[in-house]
């Protein structure tokens, strides 16, 4: 194992990104499929099936499938006609990227599927996803936009303050 480096982190090669993306996709696909299969088998064999369980299970499957397909779309590499790697796609393991949020959504949904076996009230845990999305939207889009808009508006000076500023400017010349 290489010793930890100080300073700037090294960059990954395109082939390394492709291989790590394949590994990450396989891991999250397996996690989603195993959690969903376990929850459905246990629900249908052991527990009573209610409308809430069916609806929320369907919603969970849509979220899991959509999230996984989005990750596949993001990480799709592009090859030339000769088979050479042109573009590695987005790095799914990059810190702070959108893939990190999608992976969190898969983990949240898989965990909710398992927790909902204990009680139907655990379906409420899925509300954390839109709450988090709203919080991120507020912090990265809405709040900066509002603060920028307020900074552009300069306060108007009344006549007395305007004359005082003009006198100060004359003295400085």
Structural domain boundaries enclosing 29: 14-123
Asked if residue 20 is part of any domain, the answer here is yes
Alpha carbons 64 and 67: distance in angstroms, whole number: 5
Asked if residue 128 is part of any domain, the answer here is no
The answer for 89, left when phi > 0, alpha when psi is -120 to 50, beta otherwise, is: left
Residue 89: phi and psi, rounded to 5, are 80, 180
Name which residue leads in pLDDT, 8 or 79: 79
Tally of structural domains, the chain: 1
**168 half-sphere exposure, CB direction, 13 A CA radius:** 6
Asked if residue 109 is part of any domain, the answer here is yes
Asked if residue 130 is part of any domain, the answer here is no
Length of the chain: 173
**Average pLDDT of the residues of the chain:** 84
CB atoms within 10 A of CB 150: 8
Reported as a single tens digit per residue, the pLDDT across 12-48 is 777 888 888 899 999 999 999 999 999 999 988 888 7
Residue corresponding to tokens 């799709």: 76
Asked if residue 148 is part of any domain, the answer here is no
CB atoms within 10 A of CB 143: 11
Name which residue leads in pLDDT, 2 or 160: 160
């Amino acid at each position: 194992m290489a010793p930890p480096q100080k300073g700037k982190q090294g960059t990954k090669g395109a082939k390394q990104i492709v291989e790590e993306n394949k590994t990450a996709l396989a891991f999250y696909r397996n996690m989603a499929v195993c959690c969903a299969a376990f929850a459905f088998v246990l629900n249908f064999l052991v527990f009573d099936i209610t409308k809430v369980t069916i609806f929320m299970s369907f919603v969970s499957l849509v979220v899991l499938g959509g999230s996984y397909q989005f990750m596949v779309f993001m990480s799709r590499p592009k090859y030339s006609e000769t088979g050479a790697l042109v573009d590695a796609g987005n790095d799914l393991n990059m810190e702070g990227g959108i893939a990190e949020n999608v992976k969190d959504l898969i983990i949240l949904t898989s965990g909710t599927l398992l927790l909902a076996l204990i009680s139907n009230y655990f379906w409420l845990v899925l509300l954390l996803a839109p709450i988090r999305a709203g919080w991120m939207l507020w912090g990265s889009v809405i709040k900066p936009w509002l603060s920028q808009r307020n900074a552009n508006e300069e306060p108007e000076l009344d006549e007395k303050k305007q004359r005082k500023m003009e006198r100060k400017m004359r003295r400085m010349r």
